[in-house]
Structure 1
Amino acid sequence: MLRPSETTAFGYWGAMAERYDTHIRHVCPNYTELLTRLLDGLPDEAGRIVELGCGSGGLSLELAARYPRASITFIDAAVEMVDLTKARLAAAHPSSAEHFRFIVSRFEDVQFNEGSFDLVISNISLHHVQDQLSLFRRIWQGLALGGRIRIGDHFLFSNPTEQTIHWANWLTYCRENCSDAEMDELLDHVTAHDRYTTLAEQFTMLLAAGFATPDCVWRSGLAAVVTADRAPMF
């Protein structure tokens, strides 16, 4: 079996698709609250939505329920995750199936038509992207004026002392829920594939990409929800 550092990020997560729902809660404190806060404050209407990193479909099911008439594109680099999400959506929302589109692709390879969607949303995925600025520029171009990006993820603390405290808390949480072998694999994966930023760095990239009013609307430890809009450029 390949170590996480010897494969890709999506290869690591795709291999555990069937047990992802349990595993993510073992390595992500407050995961359920993060998902809830990510959904808070979304617009009442959004006709065209993109989810970056559908994973096993937890957020996907919530979006389909909240926006039954929306055209939703689900993107993930792991074919196992896309297949699982597709099956879960078909079972839960069969009447909406014609509105769903599924793409197996790395985010770095996705191109968006200008003004082609109203909302982009992502949960625990964008930290795998090395060049987030480039992705944000493509997302900005793909969003219609007034469109919104909403990101749930883990972010570093700018203050080294705070970072040390919260990183230690995260390790303690994971060790309470994972075996020694799982911890070794997880930390190997983090070292090889995760590209975390501080909130300040995230805001700087969003502004450089053209977004307006980036903000953090919720934070608990390393987990946070970031939002920004594509406002008219004067």
Structure 2
Amino acid sequence: MTSTPGAWDPAGYLRFGDERARPFTDLLARVGAGAPRVVVDLGCGEGALTASLAGRWPGAQVTGVDSSPEMLAAAATHAVPGRVRFLAGDVRDWRPAEPVDVLVSNAVLHWVPGHVDLLRRWAGALAPGGWLAVQVPGNWRAPTHRLLAELCRSPQWADRLADAAPAEDAVLDPAGYLDVLTGAGLAADAWETTYLHVLSGPDPVLGWVHSTVLRPALARLSAEEAAELTAAYGAALRTAYPPRPDGTTVLPFRRVFAVGRSATT
């Protein structure tokens, strides 16, 4: 069976599972919750990182929410009755049934235009002393995104893909998120990190983006068109990210983090 162009692919996403897990680990390292009862991961993906939260906080009920049927099917293997559950839902529509002690959103909000208002709403959903932790990719001006944007706006593809091109203003810088969280009444911390991912295998940068930023463009194309766009994009990426003498390829990847805590009373 062939997959639909643009569909979420858990196996492709997990090809670089260690590299994708590092920002999640760094984000949660700044969350100082001692014994939270209600923990929610919005945009939980394939669920492995969500399930790790139950290991950190054994007394918590952990809920992961995602809109992708493919990702939720993979996440089901990490469910633990009474401890870890996964629900289908759009993070834009999510409302908690009770105040949340820890709310996590990892590598999700760049898909949500206007997510500043969403962050304010999430801040209001926290229990006293609750924590909000978010991480978003911040590499929108990097070759991975710039080259794709140029292709999407080129004469060959513009009629179908111009509005699917990666936007440079998809996320804020750390100072912007700091202002949002403090404006919502949280004691906040924000920072950025550029990871140097050392990748191996054929066309590793294309493999990385195929399951992320390339998805919206592929979703608008037939299988034949998707293959044509992917070939052109892959050739451009090989020039922008040439292999090193040992055969590995370095992918610099900037990420933006923000953590806030509500008042205890």
TM score, norm. by length of structure 2: 0.61
Identity of aligned residues (%): 25
Counterpart of 1:230 in structure 2 is 262
Counterpart of 1:9 in structure 2 is none
Counterpart of 1:19 in structure 2 is 12
Counterpart of 1:134 in structure 2 is 117
Aligned partners of 1:137, 1:210: CA distance in 2, in Å? 9
Change (3 A) 1:213 1:35: closer
Encode CA deviations 1:150-187: one digit per residue, 9 max, x unaligned.
1122236xxxxxx85xx24x679xxxxxxxxxxxxxx9
Which amino acid is 1:219 matched to? T
| 1:104 CA drift (Å) | 1.1
Is residue 2:129 matched to residue 1:146?
yes
SS at match of 1:200: helix
Counterpart of 2:50 in structure 1 is 60
- The list of structure 1 runs, each at least 4 consecutive aligned residues, that deviate by more than 3 angstroms after superposition, is 1-4, 187-190
What root-mean-square deviation, in Å, do the aligned CA atoms of Structure 1 and Structure 2 show? Answer: 3.2
Aligned 1:79-98 pairs, distance under 5 A: 79-87=69-77, 89-90=78-79, 94=80, 97-98=81-82
Which amino acid is 2:180 matched to? M
TM score, norm. by length of structure 1: 0.68
Aligned 1:165-204 pairs, distance under 5 A: 167-168=142-143, 191=166, 195-204=170-179
Ranges in structure 2 where 5+ consecutive residues have no aligned partner: 147-161, 195-252
Q: 1:40 aligns with which of 21, 24, 29?
A: 29
SS at match of 1:69: coil
Change (3 A) 1:155 1:189: same
Change (3 A) 1:209 1:20: same
The count of residues paired between Structure 1 and Structure 2 equals 190
Which amino acid is 2:36 matched to? A
| 1:193 CA drift (Å) | 11
Which amino acid is 1:63 matched to? L
Considering only CA atoms, is the larger Rg found in Structure 1 or Structure 2?
2
| 1:122 CA drift (Å) | 1.8
Q: 1:99 aligns with which of 61, 64, 83?
A: 83
Ranges in structure 1 where 5+ consecutive residues have no aligned partner: 5-11, 157-162, 173-186
Change (3 A) 1:31 1:17: closer
Change (3 A) 1:193 1:73: farther
